[in-house]
Amino acid sequence: MFKRMAAIVILFALALPFATACGEQEMDMSNKEYRELTPEEERVIVHKGTERPFSGEYNDHSEAGTYHCRRCDAALYESSDKFKSGCGWPSFDDEIDGAVRRETDADGRRTEILCASCGAHLGHVFEGEQLTDKNVRHCVNSISMVFKPASESASEQPGETAFAHFAGGCFWGVEHQFAGKDGVVSAVSGYMGGTKENPTYQEVLGGRTGHLEAVQVEYDPEKVSYEELARFFFEIHDPTQDNGQGPDIGEQYFSAVFYGSDEEKATADRLIAILEDKGYDIATMVKPAGPFWPAEDYHQDYYERKGSRPYCHAYTKRF
């Protein structure tokens, strides 16, 4: 009799997590303050409903900023990862790291996405549709999110900086020009775009690593935008020279914008199109950013230490 009762207790204990998984997902309510939901918000966020297609406020929304969970305010998606899919709901091809949890629906056919912080229902994720290069679509209910413009997000996190990467010939001159730009916190000479980890100057100079001489620009988005920096880049070197820059000839001196997001790529492509419409034959490459390797100390702040000026990098207004 005792063995039989023990077996029943064990089976009951094992069944509890299964029942939770197969029913509505419980939300983490412990020691947290959550926003009070309207009946319609609760229908979608708590009871896993779906808003009507093309009815959500963020379906055709394209402002720069961040999308947060409507219930707990956790940041979920960046606007740079939002794209138009035509499905009737906001679509994203990436999420902020660790912000979204995936679970298989009870029917085993679709994958639900939930806020990783509070378990709020967001929508579903689909793969293999070939709608973007990342080949992923997060189909999200607008009502599950609250949008915060980039300016508001920046004001909530004072002092936060961003990074941009450019290659325009000898990095001494590019670094010198960016270091004097308003809103730039620092400019560092280095190498990007190659295959070898932590390359040396001599290796890059010899063309054995595939790296370009590049500059990492740390900037304050509240004082200068990425587009302003990209425009400045096209005006401090010759973006039409295809074999190097000035007297510096070779692949390591090629002109390139290394983008860190789809939004940065779109900005670079748009600026190149503007210059080409003006008659410039642009040679600048637009490439995804990879690891940035700082150059040796003797390359940093070169012109400042020497008390001289760049020999092939000067400002020329082109826009």
Question: Which one, of 230, 226, 225, lies nearest residue 256 by Cα?
Answer: 230
CB 3 within 8 A of CB 10: no
Active-site choice (72, 115, 139, 312): 139
Show the tokens assigned to 139: 């189909």
Active-site choice (69, 72, 170, 312): 170
Question: DSSP letters along 138-202, please?
Answer: EEE-GGGEEEEEHHHHHHHSTT--EEEEEEESSHHHHHHHHHTSTTEEEEEEEEES-SSSS--HH
CB 256 within 8 A of CB 199: no
Q: Which residues of 212-233 are buried (b: 16+ CB within 10 A; e: fewer)?
A: bbbbbbebbeeebbbeebbbbb
Whose structure tokens read 């063309």? 207
Is residue 312 annotated as a catalytic residue, yes or no?
no
Q: What is the largest CA-CA distance in the chain?
A: 94
Dihedral angle sign, alpha carbons of residues 91, 94, 98, 102: positive
Show the tokens assigned to 244: 């190097």
Is residue 69 annotated as a catalytic residue, yes or no?
no
DSSP 8-state secondary structure symbol assigned to residue 52:
P
Let me know the angle formed at the C-alpha of 98 by 96 and 99, rounded to the nearest 5 degrees: 60
Catalytic residues: 139, 170
